[in-house]
Amino acid sequence: MNKVVQITSAVFLAVVFIPMCSTTYIGPDEIGVRKAVFGGIDDEDFEQGRHLDLPFLHSFYRLPRQVQFLEFKRFPVRNNQNNQFFVDISILYEIVEGGAHKIGQEGLINTWHAKVKSVCEGFLRVHLAQLDNESILDSDERIQVALSSIEPLNKQLGQYHVRVRDDGVVIRAIRFERSYEGRLQAQQLLAVQARLDEAKEKESEARMQTDTVKKGIDKDVAVEEQEWNKKIADLRQEWEVKIAEVRAEVERYQRRVRAEADAHFEQATAEGERAVAEARALGERLKTDALNTRAGRTYSAILAARNFKLGNIRLNSSDPNFLQRFASMGVWRNFFLPDER
């Protein structure tokens, strides 16, 4: 059992520690340059990961993969007009792809930073001298000078296998000597005043042009307004005539229709009254004819009998003609129906 544990432990230690002792880890922010005792610098840049590094046979140099910075503060420059100024400038550069092992092969592992700085100083001192007294004050000119320095600077730095990034030259500030600062500020003030006067002059011209254009516009508006007012008046008159014609036609139509309606009403009324009169006459004639019959006379007698009322009369029963005149039905029938036989 102990022998198994010892073998397992030995295998584990061999698996874990032998690779660690015979390899080197290169980080993500590093470029590995391997040197062999008998072969010198290898012809490749080693990326992130573990790489063979046998003890006593190999050694690794680590160069930065990320962007490097050079900061120059109050960097003195004298331009062609013999004016000295001081520049704060930053330069961003990096090792070109596949250039790290070349730095090692050329023996620049410990000096390439210093050589890059030396080249940049010499180049900037010459290149920035093209900024004259006027272009120094212009931010666009300064930016253009900074951008134009990248390509020629990269040509000089190529010998050290580094390159400046496309936007890697940044002029942060420019300062002048105190004696010149006052004169420069006065000059800037005069330039600003001149620009202000020019702007005021342009403003005056623009105002005059605006007034002229406004007058022209007002004139055109007045002309157009008159034309439109005339068109509106003509249209109003035309429509008033048409409205008057329509009203007259409506009035004629109303009169004609009203006259026809009145005539029709009068005719209908007359015909109705005539029909009523004829109906009444017919009714009277029919009533008369009906009453002239025996039944009609009987009906009339019944009505007369119903409506007959005797007042207070005195009869003499001793009168011999009393019964003959009042007591018989024939007397009363002859009284109410004298024509009946």
* Residue 57 domain-assigned (yes or no): yes
Whether residue 190 is predicted with pLDDT greater than 90 in this model: the reply is no
Asked whether residue 298 is assigned to any structural domain, the reply reads no
Whether 141 is in a domain gets the answer yes
Q: What is the pLDDT of residue 169?
A: 92
pLDDT of residue 8: 59
Q: How many domains does the chain have?
A: 2
Structure tokens at 193: 């005043």
CATH number of the domain bearing residue 77 = 3.30.479.30
Across the range 81-102, mean pLDDT stands at 90
Choose one of 63, 85, 109: the last residue of a domain: 63
Report whether pLDDT(298) > 80.
no
Rounded-to-5 percentages of helix, strand, coil across the chain: 60, 20, 20
> Range of 54's domain?
2-63
Task: Say if residue 73 is in the same domain as residue 144.
Answer: yes
Query: Which of 145, 176, 207 delimits the end of a domain?
Result: 176
Instruction: Kindly state whether residues 80 and 54 are assigned to the same domain.
Output: no
Q: Model's pTM, two decimal places?
A: 0.50
**Position with higher pLDDT, 159 vs 284:** 159
* Structure-token pair, residue 177: 């000597």
Please tell me the distance from the alpha carbon of residue 298 to that of residue 290, in angstroms, as a whole number: 11
Is 119 a domain residue? Answer: yes
Same domain? 132 vs 48: no
What is the Cα–Cα distance from 70 to 120, expressed in whole angstroms?
Answer: 9
pLDDT-based confidence at residue 16 (cuts at 50, 70, 90) = very low
Q: Do 106 and 33 reside in the same domain of the chain? A: no
Residues 169 and 138 in one domain: yes
44-61 pLDDT, tens per residue?
889 988 887 777 787 888
Residue 275 lies in a domain: no
Indicate whether 138 belongs to any domain: yes
Residue of higher predicted confidence among 168 and 328: 168
Domain boundary among 159, 176, 193: 176
Same domain, 49 and 76: no
pLDDT at residue 288, as a whole number: 74
Rounded Cα gap, residues 185 and 136, in angstroms: 13
Is there a single domain that holds both residue 167 and residue 117? yes
